[in-house]
Amino acid sequence: MKIYIKQLVLAISSVGLLLSCESTELDLTTDPNAVSPDQATPDFYLNRIQEEFARFNDAFGTNGSEVTRIEYMGTRLYQQAYSPASQDAEWRFAYSSMFTDISAMNVLAEEANFKRHIGMGQVFQAFTAVTLVDFYGDVPYTSAIQGLDNLNPTADSGAAIYEAALGLLDDAIANFTTEDNTADPSNDYYYDGDWDNWVKLANSLKLKIYAQSRLVDGGAIDAFNAIIAGGDYITSVDEDFQFEWGTNVVNPDSRHPNYIDNYTPQGSADYMSNWLMNYMDNSKVGNGVAIYEDSDPRIRYYYYRQSATTPGAIDSEGPNQQTLSCSVEPIPEHYVDGGFTFCYLPNGYWGRDHGDDDGTPPDGPLKTTYGVYPAGGEFDDSEFSAVDLGSGGGGAGIIPIFLAQTIDFLQAEIAYATGDIPGARAFLSDGVTKSIEKTMAFGALDADADLSLAPTSDDVDDYVAEVEALYDAAVGDEKLNLIAKEFWVALYGNGIDAYNFYRRTGYPNDLQANLEPEPGSFIRSFLYPAVYANNNSSVTQKSSVTVKVFWDNNPDSGFPLSN
């Protein structure tokens, strides 16, 4: 019977490659990381699913971060920035990998009565399905895992998928709390077998669903508040839902993806977002060279400056200006008119503006790169030397997926939306405080750093007090604008929730504009991946990125979304 089950599981896994509606990726059938017949156990499937889920969040988190200026976006026209083909990997992570492996795992787990294996899979499936809706809109779900019985699965409505996700989370809670369970998973990379935390996570994901659907569901806020009243959700940093990377370089490379790309003998590959660096370094009381007096205490953890000065800054000994083209270019007129910072130059923070599509000069060992949080890189102790393979934390960072601080910011949003202005202030303060505390703990990863430059408790208290003072002084929706910008800072490392918040509220309403004066409409949902739209006869590609997901009932025009 077990041999038959294993053969059935492998058959399901094989046809799962077709679930993403692709028929040409034959090389995937020999994937060396795939589960082989003699390894077809619930534990092996679950190990694979857990890593797939982390990479899924890294991919979608990057997309969400780029469009919301948390990360740098390097294309001027939104419709061209994320082509259908560029979304294929995200689609495969969900359908060819996770959904297929979860289905295959469940066959074995149900036979063995491994309820907690199934429960973990249900959480991963619910989160993944909701994220697919948030980015693409209506997608296949109920007919997506029928294998050869349905090679052209039709799309379910986003609202129906949300309801299915809530049901999965209820089922997961039952599986986490039952005593009728034969064995726990051998490896739990998220909570190390703490099933109370898994229950808190399931309830926390319900909070996420209710917050996202509050514009179209009259009962969502009440349901949100009922979970908060119950208290059984993620409330502290030690309950955060995150994936921890390692320091191994080969066989397998277990390092944080951003570390892999940017801590090399050639220096850094990616550019950091000028908008976020400017907000953290220069948006408060006045900020000078003495970092922390008026800037964000997290900045030395988020960013590592390889150079003390930036081309174009007032320093005759600085790098050649040709390595940063914006330093010799005039400020675009629409930046002048909108009051946007252009080519942020002070204090060695060297990145790029939103939509800057210039080529790549030899600036790898010079430009600002990822720091110790969350990528496991270097803490910025003003050493100003080039990064290298193995430096800093060696890549032992995290993918922050859903955190206690995120729930604080969601509570601030709900409180503000329901007229509880003092309550929103308290939640804002809690979220900022937790984010700073979490970030500072990562300084220990960089054993060679001079942590005497880390912020003091007074620096942290002063920053939180300043945020509270700015909230008190803000008039009208400028309070929501501040909540949004502080939420953006706290979400560094995964922009999924920033992308959702932006479309729900339209804030922040003063984000840096695209360098292109007419970049096209902001992405209300991404175009369907090519692997789905081109190979599935039941789907028609969207006409543009202006198609809204089901919970976005904000106006098509006039809504305060920045381009």
Percent of the chain with pLDDT over 70: 89
Distance CA 389, CA 434 (A): 31
Q: What is the DSSP string of 207-257?
A: HHHHHHTTTT-TTHHHHHHHHHHHT-S--SGGG-EEEE-----SSS--S-H
Which residue's entry shows tokens 């809690």? 430
- 226-233 mean pLDDT: 98
β-bridge partners, 303: 370
pLDDT at residue 397 greater than cutoff 60: yes
Of 69-83, 192-206, 400-414, where does mean pLDDT reach its minimum? 69-83
Element (H, E) at 135: helix 115-136
pLDDT above 60: residue 437:
yes
Q: Which residue has the higher pLDDT, 503 or 316?
A: 503
17 pLDDT band, cuts 50/70/90, is very low
pLDDT given for residue 3 in this prediction: 33
Render pLDDT for 85-102 as a digit per residue (tens, 0 to 9): 999 999 999 999 999 999
CB under 8 A, 24+ apart: contacts of 466-471:
466/284, 466/285, 466/294, 467/428, 467/429, 467/432, 468/425, 468/428, 468/429, 470/284, 471/425, 471/428
Q: What is the pLDDT of residue 181?
A: 97
- Stretch 73-89: mean pLDDT, rounded? 93
What mean pLDDT comes out for the span 348-369? 94
* Euclidean distance between CA atoms 393 and 391, whole angstroms: 6
Q: Tens digit of pLDDT for each residue in 31-54?
A: 445 556 566 899 999 999 999 999
- Kindly tell me if the per-residue pLDDT of 123 is higher than 90: yes
CB atoms within 10 A of CB 265: 10
Per-residue confidence at 283, pLDDT binned at 50, 70, 90? Answer: low
Question: For strand 241-244 and strand 155-156, is the pairing parallel, antiparallel, or unpaired?
Answer: unpaired
**Backbone angles phi and psi of 547, in degrees to 5:** -65, 130
Both tokens of 343, joined, read 């080519």
CB 404, CB 240: distance < 8 Å: yes
H-run or E-run covering 469? helix 457-473
Instruction: From residue 242, give the alpha-carbon distance in Å to each of 36, 49, 184, 235, 406.
Output: 28, 14, 20, 14, 12
At 132, which amino acid appears?
L
pLDDT digits 0-9 by tens, 294-317: 689 999 999 999 999 998 887 556
pLDDT tier, 292 (very low <50, low <70, confident <90, very high otherwise): low
- Concatenating the DSSP letter of every residue in 477-538 gives THHHHHHHHHHHHHTTT--HHHHHHHHHH---S-PPPPSSSS--S--SSPPPPHHHHTT-TT
What pLDDT was estimated at residue 315?
Answer: 59
Contact 255, 370 (CB under 8 A): no
What are the structure tokens assigned to 195, written together? 């099933």
pLDDT at res. 4: 33
**pLDDT tens, 124-173?**
999 999 999 999 999 999 988 666 567 788 999 999 999 999 999 999 99
Tell me what the mean pLDDT of segment 57-67 comes to.
97
Helices 115-136 and 42-67, axial angle in degrees (round to 10): 20
Task: For residue 6, name the pLDDT band (cuts at 50, 70, 90).
Answer: very low
Average pLDDT over residues 247-268: 96
Instruction: Report, as an integer, the average pLDDT of 407-422.
Output: 98
pLDDT-derived band of residue 5, with 50, 70 and 90 as boundaries?
Answer: very low
Q: CA torsion sign, 528 to 534 to 538 to 543?
A: positive
* Nearest C-alpha neighbor of 378 from the set 437, 472, 426, 446: 446
Return the pLDDT at 360: 87
Query: Residues 563, 519: contact at Cβ < 8 Å?
Result: yes
- Strand ranges in 253-370 using DSSP code E only, listed in sequence order: 303-304, 369-370
Cβ neighbour number for residue 449 with a 10 Å cutoff: 22
Residue pair 87/530 in contact by the 8 Å Cβ criterion: yes
Q: What is the pLDDT of residue 9?
A: 38
Contact 172, 126 (CB under 8 A): yes
Q: CA-to-CA distance for 432 and 248, rounded, in angstroms? A: 32
| Residue whose C-alpha is closest to residue 483's, from 418, 416, 419 | 416
Task: State residue 519's pLDDT score.
Answer: 93
In b/e form, how buried is each residue of 3-32, taking b as 16+ CB within 10 angstroms?
A: eebbeebbebbbbbbbbbbbeeeeeeeeee
436-454: average pLDDT: 96
Instruction: Give residue 364's identity as a one-letter amino acid code.
Output: G
Longest CA span, the chain: 77
Query: What is the C-alpha to C-alpha distance for residues 262 and 368, in angstroms, rounded to an integer?
Result: 10
Give the chain's mean pLDDT: 90
